[in-house]
Amino acid sequence: MIFKRLLPLLLLLAPTGCASTGARHWVELGGTRYQVELATNDETRARGLMFRDQMPADHGMLFIHEREELQAYWMKNTKIALDILYFDAQRRLVSQSRDVPPCSAGDRCPPYPSSGPARYVLELNAGQAEKLGLADGTELVFGPGIDAAR
């Protein structure tokens, strides 16, 4: 009987396996809204989008770092081509790596560094940056709840 009462609570507290605690978050970039998973700690940032076979066109992953500094991402164990977009603390686009190919070479996968200090990194399906015509300085808008996730 106690188990039946605790089960709903346990299900609410159980990890979801998602980087974002199961909440639905979004960002807007270039007038387009994307549903995003959040990667806010070392574990979720390290795993990123590894091992995924696909991602819906209107989805992405937002990586949130504690400090604004030079960042470098790679595609280790990533199966889908991505655009890697780097934003400063004011959420302005400072660097782009477009159409980054998947990499199965493990630790031999090349890094894709930002050209300036960044605090936020947004990964979208390859081709989205070109489709939006992104230029340095473009603002990334956070939906409700993302600031609280930091």
- What range defines the domain where residue 81 resides? 19-149
- Quick: pLDDT tens for 96-125: 999 999 999 989 999 999 999 999 999 999
Task: Answer whether residue 75 is part of any domain.
Answer: yes
Task: Answer whether residue 52 is part of any domain.
Answer: yes
Task: Answer whether residue 9 is part of any domain.
Answer: no
What region, left, alpha or beta, does residue 2 occupy, with left being phi > 0 and alpha being psi -120 to 50 degrees? alpha
Across residues 49-63, what is the average pLDDT? 96
CATH number of the domain bearing residue 41: 2.60.120.1140
pLDDT at 141 over 50: yes
Task: Answer whether residue 115 is part of any domain.
Answer: yes
Domain count, the chain: 1
Task: Answer whether residue 42 is part of any domain.
Answer: yes
Task: Answer whether residue 50 is part of any domain.
Answer: yes
Longest dimension (CA), the chain: 59
